C-alpha cells in the first residue's frame, strides 16, 4: 500500500509489511490521533463505570497490538463506546476484575474466529447495510459532541461561555477544512488543535479543557491477572458478555476495515485483523484495560491525514502512553472545543452523503434496509445489532424477490410428453409458487421437469419434488427430472437418507440422456 507522495519516502519492512512510508505524515498523524483518543477513552471508561486510566490503558494496548499485527495498516483501535455499553452492567454488578476476565475471554473468542477464517462472513453484509451503519455512526459521533456544550453541572452553556466555545469549534472546523487547500505539509487536524490551544492558553481564555473531564495522570499499564475465581460459575457469568464483546468488536472492526479499504482503494485482511483484535483484547485484560475494537472516527482522522502504514498507529499508541506518563499536565490544558470541532468534521466526513442520492434510484427494499440500520444504530447505540438486523432484512427481501421469480415454461412435444422448464431457484420461499405450476389431473402420462435454468437449493425444495412426484404417482403418471446439476444431485442423494424422493425413472438422479 502506497502513501500519498508528500516528502520523505523510503522503503522499509515494518513488522512484516513492506511498503513506502512517508515518515513525517505517519508521525504527525499519529500524534493527532493520540490527542483525539484521550477524551474518548476517558469518556468510554466513565460510561462503563470504570476509572479513566482503564480506558486509556485499553487504548494504548489495543492501538499498539493491532497496529503491529493487524490486517489493515492505518486503521486505529482503542477503547470504544460499543464495548463500554456492553460491559457496563457487569461492571456495576461484579466490578472491574470481572471486566478484565471478560475482555480476555472475548479476545480468545476473536482469535478463534480469525483462525477459523470467519472474517469472510463479512461478504454477507450488503452495501445498504454498510451505508446505514456508516451514516448512523456519523450521527452518533456528531450527537456525542453535543455533551461538550454543557458545563460540569450538566447545564447547557449560555451567554459568553457558549459564544466562546462555539466560536472556537467553528474556527477549528474552518482550519481543518481550509488548510489542505493551501498546504499539506502538516495535517490540518493537528494544526487546528495546536492553533486553538495556542489561542486559549496564550490569551488565558476560560473554556472547558481535557482536565475538566478527568485527570489522565498515570504510569505504565500494570500487568495484572484478573482476580476472579477460576470455576464454572465465573464462566457462566462472563461468557455471555464476552461473546457479545467479541461479536460487537469483530463486526465494528471488520466494517471499519471495509470502509478504510474503500477510501484508500486497497484491501485489508479480515481474518488477520480478527486475530490481532483478539490478541489485543487478551493483553488489554491482563494490563488493566477495558478492551475495545477499531475506531472509525480516529481511523478516518488517520487516513484523511494521509497515513497509510502501521507506523502512524504505533506512534499514536506510544504517544498516548507518553502523555499519560509524562505529559498529563500539558494535555489536560488542551481545549475541548478543538477536539469537539475535530470530531464534528469527522462526523461530516464519515456520513455517506452520496447515499442520499440513491433514494430515487435504488430499489425501495435497499433504501428501507439502509434507513432501518441507521435508525437502530442511532437510537439503540448497538452497532452489531443494527448490522445483524440489516443483514436479516436484506436476506428476507432477497428470498422474497427470488421466490417471486420462479417460472415454468410449459409445452408438449411430438411424443405427447409434457415439459416443465423451470426458471429460477427452487428453495423454501418459492416452493408454493412451484407447486402451483403443475396441472396433475390434466397432464399426460409422461412428465419432464427440466432444471437446466434452475437449482434445487434446500430441503424444502427436495420435499417439494417429493410431493409433486407423489401427486403424479397417485394418478398413474411418471415424472422425470432432467438437467440436475452435480451439487443438486448430491443434495438429493443425501436427502434420500432422510426422506423418500420419488423420482420414478431416475433413481440415481443423473441427467437423463435418453429424453
8 A C-beta contact, residue 151 and residue 161: yes
Are residues 420 and 353 located together in one domain of the fold?
A: no
8 A C-beta contact, residue 335 and residue 197: yes
Q: Does 391 fall in a domain? A: no
Report residue 147's pLDDT band, with 50, 70 and 90 as the boundaries.
Answer: confident
Are residues 83 and 163 located together in one domain of the fold?
A: yes
pLDDT of 101 higher than 80: yes
Mean pLDDT of the chain: 84
- Percent of the chain residues topping a pLDDT of 90: 34
CA 78/CA 299 separation, integer angstroms? 10
Are residues 343 and 411 located together in one domain of the fold?
A: no
The model's pTM: 0.73
Please tell me the total count of domains within the chain.
2
Each residue's pLDDT tens digit, 184-240: 777 888 888 889 999 999 999 988 888 887 888 899 999 989 999 999 999 999 998
CA 110/CA 104 separation, integer angstroms? 10
Alpha-carbon distances of 294 from 15, 347, 498, rounded to whole Å: 19, 16, 46
CB neighbours (10 Å) of residue 493?
12
> How much is the average pLDDT of 401-416?
86
Q: What's the number of CA atoms in the CB half-sphere (13 Å) around residue 513?
A: 2
CA 134/CA 234 separation, integer angstroms? 36
H/E/C letters for each residue in 423-449? ECCECCCCHHHHHCCCCCCCCCCEEEE
Q: What is the rounded radius of gyration, in angstroms, for the C-alpha atoms of the chain?
A: 29
Q: Does 249 fall in a domain? A: yes
Are residues 418 and 286 located together in one domain of the fold?
A: no
Provide the CATH number for the domain around residue 437: 3.30.750.24
Q: Does 354 fall in a domain? A: yes
For β-strands 10-14 and 17-21, DSSP reports them as antiparallel
Closest by Cα among 414, 463, 412 to 439:
412
8 A C-beta contact, residue 20 and residue 9: yes
CB neighbours (10 Å) of residue 73?
26
Are residues 258 and 347 located together in one domain of the fold?
A: yes
Q: What is the DSSP string of 181-246?
A: HH--SS-HHHHHHHHHHHHHHHHT----BGGGT------SPPP----S--SHHHHHHHHHHHHHHH
Specify the pLDDT at position 515. 42
Each residue's pLDDT tens digit, 463-482: 888 888 889 989 998 888 88
Q: Does 513 fall in a domain? A: no
Specify the pLDDT at position 3. 41
Are residues 326 and 450 located together in one domain of the fold?
A: no
Q: Does 502 fall in a domain? A: no
Specify the pLDDT at position 226. 94
Specify the pLDDT at position 19. 57
Are residues 442 and 369 located together in one domain of the fold?
A: no
Please give the residue range of the domain that contains residue 202: 21-214+225-377
Specify the pLDDT at position 180. 84
Phi then psi dihedrals of residue 397, to 5 deg: -65, -40
Are residues 52 and 175 located together in one domain of the fold?
A: yes
Each residue's pLDDT tens digit, 119-138: 777 777 788 888 888 888 78
CA 447/CA 469 separation, integer angstroms? 10
Alpha-carbon distances of 113 from 62, 80, 166, 168, 479, rounded to whole Å: 18, 20, 45, 45, 46
Are residues 307 and 420 located together in one domain of the fold?
A: no
Specify the pLDDT at position 141. 78
Specify the pLDDT at position 4. 40
Q: What is the DSSP string of 355-397?
A: GGGGTTTS-HHHHHHHHHHHHHHHHH--HHHHHHHHHHHHHHH
Each residue's pLDDT tens digit, 287-340: 999 999 998 888 988 998 889 899 999 999 999 999 999 998 888 888 989 888
| Higher-confidence position of 114 and 136 | 114
Q: Does 13 fall in a domain? A: no
Q: Does 8 fall in a domain? A: no
Alpha-carbon distances of 471 from 16, 407, 435, 512, rounded to whole Å: 64, 20, 11, 21
Alpha-carbon distances of 395 from 95, 309, 399, 426, rounded to whole Å: 40, 36, 6, 16
Q: Does 511 fall in a domain? A: no
The mean-pLDDT minimum among 85-99, 123-137, 150-164, 282-296 falls in: 123-137
Are residues 110 and 195 located together in one domain of the fold?
A: yes
Specify the pLDDT at position 1. 37
Each residue's pLDDT tens digit, 245-302: 998 889 889 888 988 988 888 888 999 999 999 999 999 999 999 999 998 888 988 9
Are residues 154 and 298 located together in one domain of the fold?
A: yes
> How much is the average pLDDT of 486-503?
62
Phi then psi dihedrals of residue 50, to 5 deg: -115, 170
Residue 28 C-alpha cell reads as 504527525
Alpha-carbon distances of 457 from 433, 481, 500, 510, rounded to whole Å: 15, 15, 17, 17
Are residues 373 and 409 located together in one domain of the fold?
A: no
Residues 6+ apart with CB under 8 A from 392: none
pLDDT of 503 higher than 60: no
Amino acid at each position: 500500500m502506497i502513501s500519498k507522495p508528500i516528502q520523505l519516502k523510503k522503503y522499509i519492512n515494518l513488522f512484516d509489511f513492506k511498503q513506502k512510508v512517508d515518515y513525517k505524515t505517519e508521525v504527525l498523524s499519529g500524534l493527532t490521533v493520540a490527542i483525539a483518543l484521550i477524551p474518548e477513552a476517558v469518556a468510554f471508561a466513565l460510561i462503563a463505570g470504570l476509572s479513566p486510566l482503564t480506558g486509556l490503558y485499553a487504548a494504548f494496548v489495543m492501538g499498539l497490538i493491532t497496529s503491529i499485527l493487524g490486517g489493515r495498516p492505518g486503521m486505529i483501535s482503542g477503547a470504544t463506546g460499543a464495548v463500554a455499553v456492553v460491559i457496563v452492567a457487569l461492571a456495576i454488578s461484579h466490578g472491574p476484575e470481572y471486566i478484565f476476565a471478560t475482555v480476555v475471554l472475548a479476545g480468545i473468542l476473536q482469535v478463534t474466529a480469525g483462525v477459523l477464517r470467519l472474517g469472510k462472513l463479512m461478504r454477507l453484509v450488503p452495501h445498504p447495510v454498510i451505508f446505514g451503519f456508516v451514516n448512523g455512526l456519523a450521527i452518533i459521533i456528531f450527537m456525542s459532541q453535543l455533551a461538550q456544550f454543557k458545563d460540569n453541572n450538566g447545564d447547557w452553556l449560555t451567554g459568553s461561555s457558549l459564544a466562546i466555545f462555539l466560536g472556537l469549534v467553528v474556527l477549528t472546523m474552518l482550519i481543518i477544512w481550509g488548510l489542505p487547500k493551501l498546504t499539506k505539509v502538516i495535517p490540518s487536524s493537528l494544526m487546528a488543535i495546536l492553533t486553538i490551544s495556542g489561542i486559549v492558553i496564550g490569551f488565558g481564555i476560560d473554556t472547558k479543557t481535557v482536565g475538566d473531564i478527568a485527570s489522565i495522570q498515570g504510569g505504565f499499564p500494570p500487568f495484572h491477572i484478573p482476580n476472579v475465581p477460576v470455576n464454572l460459575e465465573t464462566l457462566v457469568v462472563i461468557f455471555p458478555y464476552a461473546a457479545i464483546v467479541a461479536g460487537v468488536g469483530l463486526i465494528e472492526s471488520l466494517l471499519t476495515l471495509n470502509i478504510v479499504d474503500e477510501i484508500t482503494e486497497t484491501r485489508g485482511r479480515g481474518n488477520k485483523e480478527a486475530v490481532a483484535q483478539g490478541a489485543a483484547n487478551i493483553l488489554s485484560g491482563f494490563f488493566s484495560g477495558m478492551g475495545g475494537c477499531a475506531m472509525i472516527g480516529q481511523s478516518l482522522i488517520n487516513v484523511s491525514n494521509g497515513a497509510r502504514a502501521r507506523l502512524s498507529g504505533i506512534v499514536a499508541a506510544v504517544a498516548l502512553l507518553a502523555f499519560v506518563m509524562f505529559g498529563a499536565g500539558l494535555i489536560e490544558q488542551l481545549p475541548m472545543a478543538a477536539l469537539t470541532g475535530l470530531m464534528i468534521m469527522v462526523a461530516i466526513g464519515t456520513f455517506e452523503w452520496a447515499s442520499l442520492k440513491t433514494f430515487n434510484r435504488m430499489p425501495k427494499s435497499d433504501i428501507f434496509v439502509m434507513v432501518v440500520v441507521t435508525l437502530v444504530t442511532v437510537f439503540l447505540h448497538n452497532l452489531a445489532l443494527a448490522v445483524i438486523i440489516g443483514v436479516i432484512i436484506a436476506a428476507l427481501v432477497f428470498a422474497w424477490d427470488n421466490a417471486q421469480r420462479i417460472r415454468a415454461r410449459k409445452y408438449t412435444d411430438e411424443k405427447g410428453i409434457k415439459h416443465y422448464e423451470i426458471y429460477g431457484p427452487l428453495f423454501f420461499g418459492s416452493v408454493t409458487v412451484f407447486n402451483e405450476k403443475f396441472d396433475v389431473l390434466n397432464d399426460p402420462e409422461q412428465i419432464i421437469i427440466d432444471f437446466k435454468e434452475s437449482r434445487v437449493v434446500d430441503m424444502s425444495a427436495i420435499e417439494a419434488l417429493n410431493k409433486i412426484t407423489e401427486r403424479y404417482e397417485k394418478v398413474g403418471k411418471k415424472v422425470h427430472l432432467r438437467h440436475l446439476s452435480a451439487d443438486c444431485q448430491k443434495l438429493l442423494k443425501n436427502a434420500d437418507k432422510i426422506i423418500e424422493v420419488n423420482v420414478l425413472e431416475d433413481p440415481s438422479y443423473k441427467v437423463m440422456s435418453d429424453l
